Chains A and B, each alone.
Chain A
Amino acid sequence: ETGVTQSPTHLIKTRGQQVTLRCSSQSGHNTVSWYQQALGQGPQFIFQYYREEENGRGNFPPRFSGLQFPNYSSELNVNALELDDSALYLCASSGEKQGNYGYTFGSGTRLTVV
């Protein structure tokens, strides 16, 4: 059983650019959530995808957008990058699995905006 994998692990972008982060969910999981974790803080919910549809969104502007594919992998796109977008971006997958309704997190993508 594979876990959640995220790519790339590190990324440096210039203010105003666009970025795409990728996430492969754990086998058997059909729900993917994205979180932003600024330095020294707990992760903040960005949005969740369930069976290719957005299923909830946190307090993030529209320049944060996402996609989920038929194999349940997912992308997070951020347009018009700002310095404050520098953070660790975490992807988590979940699915009904014999009583385990918890989430499995990936190792994250560290985004630095300069």
Chain B
Amino acid sequence: KQEVTQIPAALSVPEGENLVLNCSFTDSAIYNLQWFRQDPGKGLTSLLLIQSSQREQTSGRLNASLDKSSGRSTLYIAASQPGDSATYLCAVDNYGQNFVFGPGTRLSVLP
């Protein structure tokens, strides 16, 4: 059974810092991995999708890497801004059946 964990559970940083969010999964036989952002009480916004054959994806200040063999993914946020404050969720797609989500990392970027 696939299990996904995220470290840290919460993070508070001053504006401008570069930061790394970590995601680990137990079963390396995944289809893809997707990072989402969730604002309080809202739905999920897709940030980056990494196919199982890829090693990383980049979008603006965001970079996500995937190491299937070690069951790890990291989301790197450069030059953080207060608008980046949200919960970040990592989700693993088990061959199109369903996503298994981590519990999320709650990020606060202080002005």
Contact = CB atoms under 8 A, between A and B. Distances in A.
A28 interface: no
Interface stretch (B14-22, B62-70, B71-79, B93-101): B93-101
B97 A90 contact: no
11 contacts: A6-B43, A43-B44, A55-B97, A88-B41, A92-B44, A101-B32, A101-B96, A103-B34, A103-B46, A105-B46, A108-B43
Main secondary structure of the interface of A (DSSP, over half): strand
Main secondary structure of the interface of B (DSSP, over half): strand
Contact size range, A: 20 to 34
A95 to B, nearest CB: 11
B44 A105 contact: yes
Given A42-B89, A42-B103, A43-B101, A108 B96 contact: no
A89 B18 CA distance: 33
Contacts of B31: 101
A29 interface: no
Interface of B: 4, 31-32, 34, 36, 41-46, 49, 51, 89, 91, 93, 96-104
Interface string A29-59: 0010101000001111100100000011010
Nearest to A57: B98
A94 B91 CA distance: 15
A100 interface: yes
Contacts of B46: 102-105
A45 B99 contact: yes
